[in-house]
Amino acid sequence: MEMIKHFDVIRLSMIRGKAHEGIIGEWIRWWLDYDPENHLVFNPAPYAQNNSADILFLKKEAEYEVFMPFGVAEIENNQKNWSAKLESLETYERELPDLKFTLLSVKTGPKSDDAFKRLIEEVKKASSKSSICWILYRLKAKPGRHDVELVSLKEDDEVFGSSFIEGSEYLVIKKGNVVIE
């Protein structure tokens, strides 16, 4: 999972608002830019039971010249939905036994540290009986009222931009243990 370091969070800092689609787009860019000839994406992912993840990452199997599922991602900005997204990823792991990784990318505000610590424990638990890597990626958002840039939406109508991403951190978890911080 060396390539996780190359996710470009800087571009996301120029997006205001919820940015759900923008975040999905950056994860897609991350995967496709890494190996455009051998990587493919489904957005959204095909259903696994009643779940449809945001992204299914595929990689070409050289031996067979066919794209195979390699990883699956859920992108979630709402803390209330984190557990449901984690359950969705668990479903994909059961349904697609050749997966190599899951990715849960969450956006958090400044008061989310305790909730994020609980999420880490949930991901550790989910990964404890798993043979794949679980990536938990945290995008740190800053509320818009602290944004000093004004945005003009139309003549004589200036507003402060809404929340924006100002940083990130990630963990790679395998067999219930954090292996990369």
Structural domain harbouring 168 = 2-180
Answer yes or no: are the C-beta atoms of 101 and 134 closer than 8 Å.
Answer: yes
CA separation for the pair 21, 32 (Å, rounded): 16
The single residue listed with the structure tokens 């009643």 is: 50
Answer yes or no: are the C-beta atoms of 100 and 131 closer than 8 Å.
Answer: no
74 CA to centre of own chain: 6
pLDDT digits (tens, 9 = 90+) for 29-78: 999 999 999 999 999 999 999 999 999 999 999 888 899 999 999 999 99
Number of helices (H), then strands (E), belonging to the chain: the values are 4, 9
What pLDDT was estimated at residue 112? Answer: 87
Confidence of residue 159 (pLDDT cuts 50, 70, 90): very low
pLDDT digits (tens, 9 = 90+) for 89-123: 999 999 999 999 999 999 998 788 999 999 999 99
Residue 137 main-chain phi, psi, to 5 deg: -115, 125
The domain spanning residue 30 has which CATH number?
3.40.1350
Our count of domains for the chain comes to 1
